[in-house]
Amino acid sequence: MSDVKIENLKVAYGDNVIFDDFSVDFAEHKISVVLGGSGVGKSTLLNAVAGLLPYGGEIDTGGAEVSYIFQNDRLIPSITVYKNLDLILRGICKDKAERRRRIENMLAALEISELAGKLPRNLSGGQAQRVAMARAYLYPSGVLLLDEPFKALDTALKTRLIKQLIALHEREKRTVIFVTHAIDECLLVADEYFVLAENPVRVSLSGEIKADKAARRLDDKELCEVRDVLLKNIASL
């Protein structure tokens, strides 16, 4: 596993330059939250790290594999949840019993064991997103990318999934880059944060949140102070 180092990143769509000489380091084993408004380039940044688009400059993951949780679940609709997860492991683990053990343990960790035999079309949005989380964590990657994974969820379900994400991170200790426009999500999950401004993209603010993620409340003093700093910075952009 490794930190993710980006140096002199350049991404353009025709004449529209999104990133130009953009550099940032995301810390190893931490949850790094990237904040910014719609269209600023957050998803483009993740897609570059994942190798899903052409770019200039250097992106160094230290040789670590990358897994990705997209805004939509991208599950195969014609096969069960279990088979969706088994597909991820087949090329990695030939032992069927071991694959079953890993899948059952991950489903239990996310409290969705009862979904194993269901088809994706019969899942709620929150259930499908938890299955997508299970799939990403089953793949033995050192770097995990999350693109607004809780965007369409209600507050109660979002809070529950954030707690599960934090618990998984404590167990797995991967390098996580979490993209969102929601300040409250940042406050609850971030070890470090980066606010993006555009034309072209730059980091307008960065910082750390030291409070224990498992015990955070949005009315904690440190989180309130960070929220004020973030709101002031975002308002100035």
Single pTM value for the model: 0.93
Order of strands, sheet of 66-69, starting from the edge strand that comes earlier in the sequence: 66-69, 143-147, 175-180, 31-35, 192-197, 202-208
Cα(29)–Cα(27) distance, rounded to whole angstroms? Answer: 6
Instruction: Name the phi and psi angles at 215, rounded to 5.
Output: -115, 5
Q: What is the pLDDT of residues 147-180, one digit of tens each?
A: 998 887 888 888 988 999 999 999 988 999 999 9
What pLDDT does residue 70 have? 87
Cα(86)–Cα(103) distance, rounded to whole angstroms? Answer: 7
Give me the percent of the chain exceeding a pLDDT of 90: 84
Residue 2 has pLDDT above 80, yes or no: no
Q: What is the pLDDT of residues 98-133, one digit of tens each?
A: 999 999 999 999 999 999 999 999 999 889 989 999
What pLDDT does residue 154 have? 84
Residue 220 has pLDDT above 80, yes or no: yes
What pLDDT does residue 172 have? 87
What pLDDT does residue 153 have? 81
Q: What is the pLDDT of residues 81-96, one digit of tens each?
A: 999 999 999 989 999 9
Residue 53, Cβ neighbours under 10 Å: how many? 12
What integer is the mean pLDDT of 226-232?
97
Residue 204 — pLDDT band, cuts 50, 70, 90? very high
Q: What is the pLDDT of residues 178-187, one digit of tens each?
A: 999 999 999 9
Instruction: Give the domain ranges of the chain.
Output: 27-54+143-222+229-237, 75-140
| Helix or strand run (H / E) with residue 35 | strand 31-35
Beta bridge partners, 31, equal 176
Residue 136 has pLDDT above 70, yes or no: yes
Residue 79 has pLDDT above 70, yes or no: yes
Lowest mean pLDDT among 23-32, 51-60, 166-175, 221-230: 166-175
Q: Domain 27-54+143-222+229-237 belongs to what topology?
A: Rossmann fold (3.40.50)
What integer is the mean pLDDT of 12-25?
95
Residue 211 — pLDDT band, cuts 50, 70, 90? very high
